Amino acid sequence: MVVIAVAGGSGGVGKTIVEKLLESKFDVVILSRTARQENSSQKVQNLQINYDDIPSMAHEFERHKIHTIISAIGLVSDETSQSQLNLIEAGEKSVSTKRFIPSEYSFIQTPNLLSIDPSIQWWLDAAERLKASGLEYTRVIPGFFMDYWGMPYVQTHLQPFTFGIDIASGTAAIPGNGDNVICMTYTYDLATYLVKALDLDNWPEFSIIVGDEVTYNQVLELAEEFTGKKFKVTYDTLEQITAGNVTVPPQPEGVDSSSDEIKEMTALVSRLTVNNVFQLPKDRLNAQFPEVKPVTFREFLQNAWGRSRV
């Protein structure tokens, strides 16, 4: 049986991937810094590792016969970035480990975008390290996650945050003219495609997955349709976005960020949106698995809000 290890398996994306793996033929190991409680499934093991000890990690990968590592480590600092780089090196040293999926799960990170978001360097560092390794790898790119517009009614492990349009309050703060194309995917559809990709003989550098393509104006139109209410709408100009003087939509309960951090995140996503980073290439993993029918944004929003829960 092929053993798949997931680093960051207790986080939002990682937990979703683990759930889908447990429905598959693979044996699953969750890598964690701390000892975790026993999982109810016999198909999953919890393995405590030290991300600072590369030889020890490599030894554990060999001991557990780990073939593929899926990283879902949240890259939020130089320290977490280094943890992933160490994970790659340990995978390279492990005799049993052949494949690696780095933590990305967003748009295609490129050097020309560093002026917009300097933290992209963490993803670029991982990609460069993988290119230099003997591991086969693929960077999984699902665009924006639909989940944020279905909370709190949709099944998701992501932390709540409002991007652009707060459906609950009927408020929209839209970057630019609202016509930039945004490729979106529901996290469970991402996980479904990712698990299927594990059976491919060869991986492309980028595994692009898209559930649907929408604009903020279309999101607004659908939200008004399914809630039956007229939203209060603000459009931020490019000048506002460049200056960071953005309109922050109402945030849901449970957002663990300061007002300054929320404004900074809103400004960042606005800059990325108007620079069309979420408009993904047409060469997509979807075509290899026509039997998978990802949820469209209309279906997703109707399931979450179609019963007039506002």
CB 123 within 8 A of CB 105: no
Predicted pLDDT of residue 310 = 47
What is d(CA 91, CA 64) in angstroms, rounded to the nearest whole number?
12
DSSP strand pairing (171-175 vs 3-7): unpaired
What is d(CA 61, CA 29) in angstroms, rounded to the nearest whole number?
10
The two tokens of residue 170 are: 């009927």
Predicted pLDDT of residue 218 = 98
With 80 as the cut, is the pLDDT of residue 124 above it? yes
Residue type at 115 in one-letter notation:
S
**Which tens digit of pLDDT belongs to each residue from 26-64?**
999 999 988 665 555 567 899 999 999 999 999 999 999
What is d(CA 122, CA 109) in angstroms, rounded to the nearest whole number?
10
Average pLDDT over residues 64-72: 98
pLDDT category of residue 10 using cuts at 50, 70 and 90: confident
pTM of this structure: 0.95
**Which tens digit of pLDDT belongs to each residue from 216-246?**
999 999 999 999 999 999 999 999 999 999 9
3-state secondary structure of 68: strand
**Which tens digit of pLDDT belongs to each residue from 141-168?**
999 999 999 999 999 999 999 999 999 9
Predicted pLDDT of residue 194 = 98
**Which tens digit of pLDDT belongs to each residue from 251-300?**
998 888 899 999 999 999 999 999 999 999 999 999 999 999 999 999 99
Predicted pLDDT of residue 90 = 98
All structural domains of the chain, each given as residue ranges with its CATH number in brackets, are: 3-137 (3.40.50.720), 145-184+212-280+289-305 (3.90.25.10)
Predicted pLDDT of residue 43 = 73
Predicted pLDDT of residue 231 = 98
The answer to which of 39-43, 114-118, 136-140 has the lowest mean pLDDT is: 39-43
Residue type at 25 in one-letter notation:
K
Predicted pLDDT of residue 34 = 83
Judge residue 24's burial from the number of C-beta atoms within 10 Å of its C-beta, 0-12 exposed, 13-18 middle, 19 or more buried. Answer: middle
**Which tens digit of pLDDT belongs to each residue from 174-224?**
999 999 999 999 999 999 999 999 999 999 999 999 999 999 999 999 999
Give the strand order in the sheet containing 144-145.
Answer: 144-145, 182-185, 212-214
Predicted pLDDT of residue 1 = 85
CB 47 within 8 A of CB 24: no
Could you tell me how far CA 82 lies from the centroid of its own chain?
19
What is d(CA 285, CA 197) in angstroms, rounded to the nearest whole number?
8
Residue type at 245 in one-letter notation:
N
For residue 233, the surrounding DSSP H or E stretch is strand 232-236
